[in-house]
């Protein structure tokens, strides 16, 4: 690839290419983003219920609000990067996430929980999938899929180390002290790293964060085209259904396992789930470019449905932990696969806007997962009913993802 602004060749396969240090930065950003913004929600639910006696449905609905408000912000991540640059957007996300962590630790009334989740949504928008895929898209073209896959291992790492460390810190310092420590750790580590390592993207990326070219349609045009394209909608809706089930299940996982196998073993199960997400993503990354990515997605959905069936019907500690591992094997790939499908099936100029749009739509859908599961759990008296509903969504999505339409390459962005 040629860097038009510098007249030099860019070798994305070289270990010396600057883009790989951006991958490292995004790995760390994802670690904190998912550790505090995603997997941390299961800890917040269990801890706030223990401290205040609030019903699971009330806390879960606050989580739903967090995801909905975050979805609104995520939809405009690509424009934010163009306006402020990737470094400033990443810094803003880290600072907002740290502030939200401190506030969550001080929550004493339900309305405060909603305020804290509003602030957390700003942090999530600046540390999660939309910002990471858009940022890496500025440095990578041919190796974009690999770069995204490697960076998003940080999301799984955030669950592997984040949940056990947070649970241990709460036991030692209390909820407020643990959240304060997490916020300070994130600021001390991430602010210098972003300032030192995230600079101006090369060639094609520099153009992307500057003024739009005459050949590039506006973001609003791309969104309008995408929402009329069946190929885009089949991918988006399928992943929306699965992420609804996946997020709802993970947020309630500790609360479900705690009375069955204890808090410590429940945290271990979450850590194993996220460790298997890394294993699954790494194994898939070596072959995913040679596979039918839609078929790989469908098989991942079915494997999660099977894991849920085991979890619902077993009370054996080892079998429950093994089922969590099976469920986790595809968790990482369900974060990565949408980006890879968009990379393969749609015009590359639309990548940033389409990923932001798909992420926002999916987040609106899975925002209701924790709340709906909480309501069904409270109404039925157990998690069996909502978890069986999740199995149904997984199987429907497995069918939908295989329906691509006319089988042609999507023509989004072919005209202005």
**For residue 196, what pLDDT is reported?**
94
Alpha-carbon span 24 to 30, nearest angstrom: 10
Q: Record the pTM.
A: 0.75
Range of the domain at 96: 14-400
Alpha helix locations (H) across 19-84? 19-37, 40-52, 56-74, 77-84
Structural domains in the chain (count) = 1
Task: Determine which helix (DSSP H) or strand (DSSP E) holds 212, and give its type and residue range.
Answer: none
Alpha-carbon span 87 to 72, nearest angstrom: 21
In a domain, 247, yes or no: yes
Q: Domain of 386: which CATH number?
A: 1.20.1250.20
**For residue 411, what pLDDT is reported?**
52
**For residue 204, what pLDDT is reported?**
53
In a domain, 346, yes or no: yes
- The secondary structure of residue 209, as a DSSP letter, is T
**For residue 30, what pLDDT is reported?**
93
330-361 residues labelled b (16+ CB within 10 A) or e (exposed): bbbbbbbbbbbbbbebbbebbbbbbbbbbbbb
Alpha-carbon span 377 to 308, nearest angstrom: 15
Q: What is the pLDDT along the chain (416 residues), one digit of tens a residue?
A: 445 444 445 666 676 788 889 999 999 999 999 889 888 887 888 888 888 888 877 887 888 788 889 888 888 888 889 889 999 999 999 999 999 999 999 998 888 999 999 999 999 999 988 899 889 888 887 777 778 888 888 887 887 788 788 888 998 899 999 999 999 999 999 999 999 999 888 765 554 554 444 455 677 778 888 888 888 889 999 999 999 999 888 878 888 887 878 777 887 888 788 788 888 877 876 676 677 889 989 999 999 999 999 998 888 888 888 999 999 998 878 877 888 888 788 877 777 788 888 888 888 888 788 778 888 888 888 888 999 999 999 999 999 999 875 544 445 554 33
Alpha-carbon span 181 to 200, nearest angstrom: 32
In a domain, 360, yes or no: yes
Closest CA to 108 of 54, 55, 69: 54
In a domain, 227, yes or no: yes
Contact 311, 324 (CB under 8 A): yes
Closest CA to 45 of 152, 166, 160: 166
In a domain, 324, yes or no: yes
In a domain, 37, yes or no: yes
Alpha-carbon span 138 to 103, nearest angstrom: 33
In a domain, 414, yes or no: no
In a domain, 124, yes or no: yes
**For residue 414, what pLDDT is reported?**
45
Q: Residue with structure tokens 């506030």?
A: 103
Alpha-carbon span 276 to 255, nearest angstrom: 21
Contact 275, 329 (CB under 8 A): no
């Amino acid at each position: 690839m040629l860097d038009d602004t510098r007249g030099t060749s860019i070798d994305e396969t070289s270990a010396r290419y600057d883009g790989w240090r951006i991958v490292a930065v995004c790995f760390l950003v994802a670690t904190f983003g998912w550790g505090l913004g995603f997997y941390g929600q299961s800890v917040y639910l269990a801890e706030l219920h223990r401290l205040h006696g609030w019903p699971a449905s009330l806390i879960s609905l606050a989580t739903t609000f967090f995801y909905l408000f975050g979805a609104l912000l995520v939809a405009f991540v690509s424009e934010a990067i163009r306006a402020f640059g990737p470094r400033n957007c990443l810094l803003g996300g880290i600072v907002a996430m740290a502030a939200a962590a401190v506030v969550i630790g001080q929550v004493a009334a339900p309305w405060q929980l909603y305020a804290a989740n509003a602030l957390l949504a700003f942090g999530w928008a600046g540390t999660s999938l939309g910002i990471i895929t858009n940022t890496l898209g500025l440095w990578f073209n041919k190796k974009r899929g690999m770069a995204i896959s490697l960076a998003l291992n940080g999301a799984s790492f955030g669950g592997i180390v984040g949940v056990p460390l947070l649970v241990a810190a709460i036991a030692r310092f209390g909820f407020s002290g643990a959240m304060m420590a997490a916020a300070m750790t994130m600021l001390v580590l991430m602010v210098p790293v972003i300032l030192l390592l995230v600079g101006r993207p090369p060639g094609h990326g520099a153009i992307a964060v500057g003024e739009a070219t005459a050949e590039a349609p506006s973001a609003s045009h791309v969104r309008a085209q995408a929402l009329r394209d069946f190929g885009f909608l089949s991918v988006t809706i399928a992943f929306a259904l699965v992420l609804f089930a996946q997020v709802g299940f993970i947020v309630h996982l500790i609360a479900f396992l705690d009375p069955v196998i204890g808090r410590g073993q429940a945290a271990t199960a979450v850590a194993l789930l996220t460790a298997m997400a890394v294993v699954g993503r790494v194994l898939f990354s070596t072959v995913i470019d040679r596979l039918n990515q839609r078929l790989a997605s469908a098989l991942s959905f079915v494997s999660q449905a099977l894991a849920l069936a085991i979890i619902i019907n077993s009370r054996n500690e080892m079998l429950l932990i093994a089922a969590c591992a099976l469920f986790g094997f595809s968790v990482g790939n369900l974060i990565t696969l949408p980006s890879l499908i968009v990379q393969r099936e749609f015009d590359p100029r639309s990548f940033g806007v389409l990923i932001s749009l798909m992420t926002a739509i999916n987040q609106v859908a899975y925002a209701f997962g924790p709340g709906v599961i909480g309501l069904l759990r409270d109404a039925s008296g157990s998690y069996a009913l909502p978890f069986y509903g999740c199995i149904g969504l997984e199987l429907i999505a497995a069918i939908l993802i295989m329906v691509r339409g006319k089988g042609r390459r999507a023509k989004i962005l072919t005209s202005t």
